């Protein structure tokens, strides 16, 4: 079982719709959760982080965390073509070094 799992997609949504991206993790002691956006050929950029159960909103983005279910999601409201990218979920464990473990990413396409 992979430590961090994401549906690889591709996920296609029409412009203006809500895109929902999901991630599950295997280490129940994981503490911090991150969503990175990566455009083709570019490096990842952080768009959201969350470490408490519940929802966290930042503009059009909402991160949701459910530690009991070991599940974290990212919702993108009013999706724009510029949101088309690969979204990487990353998780830190309990070690003092707090290394990030990445999922393989979900490719999102927003259709105009």
Partner 1 sequence: DGGITQSPKYLFRKEGQNVTLSCEQNLNHDAMYWYRQDPGQGLRLIYYSQIVNDFQKGDIAEGYSVSREKKESFPLTVTSAQKNPTAFYLCASKRQGAQLAGVNEQFFGPGTRLTVL
Residue from 24, 25, 34, 64 in contact with partner 1 (CB under 8 A): 34
Helix (H) or strand (E) holding 5, with range, is strand 4-6
Q: Is 98 in the site for partner 1 (CB under 8 A)?
A: yes
Closest C-alpha to 35, from 85, 73, 82, 89: 89
Beta carbon nearer to partner 1, 8 or 14: 8
Neighbours of 27 (CB within 10 A): 14
Q: Is 20 in the site for partner 1 (CB under 8 A)?
A: no
Beta carbon nearer to partner 1, 22 or 32: 32
Neighbours of 53 (CB within 10 A): 11
End-to-end CA distance of the chain: 36
Beta carbon nearer to partner 1, 13 or 100: 100
Residue from 49, 56, 71, 109 in contact with partner 1 (CB under 8 A): 49
Angle at alpha carbon of residue 6, lines to 66 and 43, rounded to 5°: 110
Q: Is 26 in the site for partner 1 (CB under 8 A)?
A: no
Separation CA 87–CA 22 (nearest Å): 10
Beta carbon nearer to partner 1, 21 or 44: 44
Q: Rule CB under 8 A: which residues touch partner 1?
A: 4, 8, 31-32, 34, 42-46, 49, 51-52, 88, 90, 92, 97-100, 102-105
């Amino acid at each position: 079982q992979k430590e961090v799992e994401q549906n690889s997609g591709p996920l296609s949504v029409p412009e203006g719709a809500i895109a929902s991206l999901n991630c599950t993790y295997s280490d129940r002691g994981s503490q911090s959760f991150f969503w990175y956006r990566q455009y083709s050929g570019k490096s990842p950029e952080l768009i959201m982080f969350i470490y408490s159960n519940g929802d966290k909103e930042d503009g059009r983005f909402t991160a949701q965390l459910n530690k009991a279910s070991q599940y974290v999601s990212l919702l993108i409201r009013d999706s724009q073509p510029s949101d088309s990218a690969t979204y990487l979920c990353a998780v830190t464990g309990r070690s003092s070094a707090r290394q990030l473990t990445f999922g393989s990413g979900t490719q999102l396409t927003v259709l105009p």
